[in-house]
Every structure is written in C-alpha cells, then in structure tokens.
Structure 1
Amino acid sequence: MALTNENNKDMEQTADYVIKVPKTNRFFANSLAIIPLQLFAYYVSLGRGLDVDKPRNLAKSVTVE
C-alpha cells in the first residue's frame, strides 16, 4: 500500500494499492495525508471485527489541577 499525491505515477507500478491525495502546498501535505490514513485504519479494524469505539490497551487518565 502506498500513499502519494495524484501526480506520482511511479507508485502504481510499485505498490499493490495506491491511495492518492491532491497535490498541494508542502506545508499542508501532511494534514491531507492524515484523513485517508485514519479512514484506512478504521475500515481495517472493522474488517477484523474489532470494536472501534472501545480500543484495547487504552488507559484513561484524569488530571486534576
């Protein structure tokens, strides 16, 4: 699997699956990449039968000032 901008044609030959994001200013590229990666993680966990609303090994902490 590869995540690339829509102008990069080399990744289609290298990876089995390619997720394309729009080409943008380099300062915003990381922010745009987060969204498809979060959706990918969400659907992979649903496919594995995991409860996405109750992740395991998540510790709840409360800080009181």
Structure 2
Amino acid sequence: MGLTTYGNYSIEDQVDFAVYLPKIDEHFSGSLAVIPLQLLGYYVSVAKGLDVDKPRNLAKSVTVE
C-alpha cells in the first residue's frame, strides 16, 4: 500500500494499492494521512477477527475515579 498525493501516479508501479490525498502544505499532510491509516488498521483488525475495542497488551494508563 502506498500513500501519496494526487498527481503522483508513478507510485502505482511500486505498490499493490495506492491511496491518494489532496495536495496540501507538507506541514499538514501527516495529520491528513492519519485518517486513511487508522481506517486501514481498523479494517485489517476486523478481517483478522481481533476485538478492536479491547486491544491486547495495552497498558492501563488512565484510572477512572
């Protein structure tokens, strides 16, 4: 899978699947890339049959009062 901006079609030869993001300032591209990558992680977990609401090996860092 490749993550790139619209217009950069040369990546299609190197990856099986490409996700195209709008062209924006490079300072904001990381924030915009989070959305499709989070969705990818979610759907891969669901496809593997993992419980996405209770990930294993997650340390408890917040105590509810």
TM-score strictly above 0.5: yes
Equivalent residue for 2:15? 15
Unaligned runs of 5+ in 2: none
Structure 1 residues 59 and 23: CA distance shift in structure 2, 3 A = same
5 Å-filtered alignment, 1:5-44, equals 5-44=5-44
Unaligned runs of 5+ in 1: none
- Structure 1 runs (4+) deviating above 4 angstroms are none
For these two proteins, the number of residue pairs brought into alignment is: 63
Q: How well do the aligned residues superpose, as a CA RMSD in angstroms?
A: 1.2
User: What displacement does 1:61 show?
Assistant: 2.5
Identity %: 57
Q: Which amino acid aligns with 2:21?
A: V
Task: Please identify which structure carries the higher helix content.
Answer: 2
Structure 1 residues 27 and 44: CA distance shift in structure 2, 3 A = same
Q: TM-score, normalised by structure 1?
A: 0.89
